[in-house]
Amino acid sequence: MNYDEHRQDYERKHPASIPKLEYALSPYPNWLKSVVLVMFITAASGSGVHTIPTVYAGMPDYWPEWIRHIASIASFTYIELAIFVAIFALIGSFSWLTVGITTLATGVATVANIYSVANAYKGGDIWALVVSVALGIVAPGVALMSGKMFVNMHRADRMIKAQGDSQFREACIAWDKRIEIAFKAHENKAVEPTRTTTRYATQSSSESAATILATRMIEAGLVDAPNATLKATFGGMSDSTISSARKIARGTLGAATGTNSQIQ
């Protein structure tokens, strides 16, 4: 059984231990994220309807009307959306540049809102001025804070995902090591019987050669002959085989002598 087959078999036997990619539950439900996003869109739109006419009114009359319209509408992008983009850019790392852009965009939007609302309430009393200032501050402020809330929620979700991915990678590494250890143990079990069989076969062959040599030594009357004589007479063989054969032969002769004495 190769490694791939062993892995499939091991995973089939231990299905509950196979690593699974799981993420922790986000502390912010999807409906809340949607509400916060809608808050930003509506607040930015509410601020933009005051920023656009303010930018339009501030442009000189020598510009063609279509250029004034395009430029004033474009102000929604570089003022209102700049707040959200700058906050989102802070996810990676803190930067005074993004903080400066956020501050400038929010300040310009607030001033433009106050100017536009004040013109709408022109000729009103002190309360009209209070409402103008309040509306001028609320819309950009809500856009800023709701954008920050949405970015914080997005950051929390990204951290949860990153943590889940990291834990899954660590679990996969541990799982691979576990399978590798099991595979090596399987290989050792498969090799051990072969080693044992070879050892026993070698031992049996050696014992058989010694027994045959002992018989021939007894027949030739060379039980006590030197090893060199035995090697010259019966062919090359190891000293250990000759020693074993000599012991067998002497044991056989001793047993035969004892038997004859008893018979007599």
- pLDDT given at position 203: 45
Structure tokens that stand for 91 in this block: 């996810």
Instruction: Please tell me the distance from the alpha carbon of residue 8 to that of residue 175, in angstroms, as a whole number.
Output: 13
Instruction: Please tell me the distance from the alpha carbon of residue 41 to that of residue 252, in angstroms, as a whole number.
Output: 108
Confidence label for 198 from pLDDT (cuts 50, 70 and 90): very low
- pLDDT given at position 92: 62
**Quick one: DSSP state of residue 246?**
H
Confidence label for 259 from pLDDT (cuts 50, 70 and 90): very low
106-155: per-residue pLDDT in tens?
778 888 877 777 777 675 667 767 777 777 777 778 887 888 888 888 88
**Overall size of the chain counted in residues:** 264
DSSP string, 133-181: HHHHHHHHHHHHHHHHHHHHHHHHHHHHHHHHHHHHHHHHHHHHHHHHH
Confidence label for 264 from pLDDT (cuts 50, 70 and 90): very low
pTM: 0.53
Instruction: Find where tokens 């709408």 sit.
Output: 120
96-106: per-residue pLDDT in tens?
777 777 778 77
Confidence label for 245 from pLDDT (cuts 50, 70 and 90): confident
Confidence label for 221 from pLDDT (cuts 50, 70 and 90): confident
Instruction: Please tell me the distance from the alpha carbon of residue 125 to that of residue 207, in angstroms, as a whole number.
Output: 123
38-82: per-residue pLDDT in tens?
888 888 777 777 777 778 877 877 888 888 888 888 877 777 777
- pLDDT given at position 210: 73
154-194: per-residue pLDDT in tens?
888 888 999 999 999 998 998 888 888 787 877 776 554 44
- pLDDT given at position 93: 66
Question: Among candidates 112, 116, 143, 117, which has minimal Cα distance to 130?
Answer: 117
